Amino acid sequence: MSCVFVVDALQHPCTPVHPGAARRLLTRGQAAVWRRYPFTLILRRTGPPAPTLAVTPAALRLKLDPGSKTTGLALVDDATGQVVWAGEVAHRGQRVRDALLARGAIRCGRRQRHTRYRPARFDNRQRPDGWLPPSLESRISNVLTWVARLRKYAPVGALSQELVRFDTQLLQHPEVDGVEYQQGELAGYEVREYLLEKWGRRCAYCGATGVPLHIEHIVPRSRGGSDRVSNLTLACKPCNDAKDTRTAAEFGYPEIAAQAKRPLKDAAAVNATRWALYRRLQQATGLPVETGTGGRTKWNRTRRGLPKAHWLDAACIGASTPAVLQLRGVVPLSITAMGRHSRQLCRTNAYGLPDKAPKATSVVAGFRTGDIVRAVVPATSTKTGVYVGRLAIRATGSCNLQTATGTVQGIHVRYCQPLHRGDGYAYQYQKHGGAALPPQP
């Protein structure tokens, strides 16, 4: 059963309780709702005395299955095998990259216009040791955020993390190891030397040797191709010019494109972030972090007859996994990283030129985009009814509401009651646990 988190009046986490016990606490006035997502109660200071809830330090183990798109979370009681709570965090990854590319384009456009002198700023940046691309950094931040939040709601005494999924580099580039591998990218000369070695110092398309070779994107940058080594090859100038903005497959070399089609992009993201996450988890929490491999996770999951799901994988990480996992009635919470704001002051067209009105406010009557609200629209309105959803603010006050069934437009903030203030994430409970579970004891 997905338990309900409870904190005492001083906001110290107590042992999570069965939903029935939580309902009794609420109906007897011994507790109030503290957070909607994840659902958390706070014991009242006054009123009828609340029962003493056992707080055993180090009672629960928080298990993490970091993925490139989704990270599975599971709170497990090692002593009983009970999965107390489960969730899945969907990361922003690609959207972070897109936003930064868009920002770069806008700044580029601004430098072309007749504005004050603006010195070139492209080669004055330094990257500190351990730098990760912003898209990967955002994944780590998402996970650290949720570890910190769950520690506020429940007594977490230990962490488990899947550290090694599989060794992509060993699968696809057995000759590469070490720092390059952990950074996920090879830099500068390393890339060139690596490509020369890999493609036999010849043009990948016509096989020409002894001519100047260019680094060539198999899927061109203009078509969304990345700078990872898995998307790079070598071409002589005639081939490079002839290929133009076509992909290698369109140019008649599908075997070269086949390499780019391997899911290296996702795997590399996991590998680049997993060690960084591991170090930061230790640093930020001071808790013991157990590590496990993907192989062990799969073995644990298969042995228990469980289907593939991010939260089930998380529950199965590591050697500490209890022999029997109690999963009956666990409903995982889908958590989607949404970002909080855009700092862009004016929307622009594809060329970075402002072509729309400046962005309006995102705060109306105390509500802001991302708040989860309950709107009771009276019968006098054509939108009459009760809606629960995530608010998208419009300056007029007549806003959009993202509900479980779709977007409802034209809901005025005067009808809204806040349920959960915007915290950078969107939430949804997965029906039927998101996966077909075998019969539970």
- In the complex, the residues that contact Zn ion under the rule CB under 5 A are 203, 205-206, 208, 236, 239
Question: Parallel, antiparallel, or unpaired for β 40-43 and 5-7?
Answer: parallel
Compare residues 203 and 316 and give the one whose CB is closer to Zn ion.
Answer: 203
Least gap, CB of 235 to Zn ion (angstroms): 5
Q: Computed from CA positions of residues 268, 269, 272, 274, in that sequence, does the dihedral angle turn out positive or negative?
A: negative
Compare residues 243 and 390 and give the one whose CB is closer to Zn ion.
Answer: 243
- The residue whose two tokens read 């076509």 is 246
Residues 6+ apart with CB under 8 A from 57: 155, 157
Least gap, CB of 239 to Zn ion (angstroms): 3
Compare residues 191 and 208 and give the one whose CB is closer to Zn ion.
Answer: 208
CA distance 53 to 6: 9
Compare residues 239 and 426 and give the one whose CB is closer to Zn ion.
Answer: 239
CA distance 139 to 13: 26
The residue among 205, 314, 307, 324 whose CA lies nearest residue 256 is 205
**Cβ(66)–Cβ(274) under 8 Å?**
yes
Least gap, CB of 193 to Zn ion (angstroms): 20
Compare residues 177 and 241 and give the one whose CB is closer to Zn ion.
Answer: 241
Least gap, CB of 316 to Zn ion (angstroms): 49
CA distance 426 to 370: 8
Question: Which token pair is 158?
Answer: 């230990």
Amino acid at 228: R
CA distance 387 to 414: 13
Compare residues 236 and 393 and give the one whose CB is closer to Zn ion.
Answer: 236
Least gap, CB of 256 to Zn ion (angstroms): 12
Compare residues 41 and 213 and give the one whose CB is closer to Zn ion.
Answer: 213
Nearest 5°: phi and psi at 124? -110, 25
**Cβ(404)–Cβ(438) under 8 Å?**
no
Least gap, CB of 348 to Zn ion (angstroms): 38
Least gap, CB of 166 to Zn ion (angstroms): 34
Least gap, CB of 247 to Zn ion (angstroms): 16
Residues 6+ apart with CB under 8 A from 319: 290, 292, 296
Compare residues 42 and 203 and give the one whose CB is closer to Zn ion.
Answer: 203
CA distance 106 to 348: 8
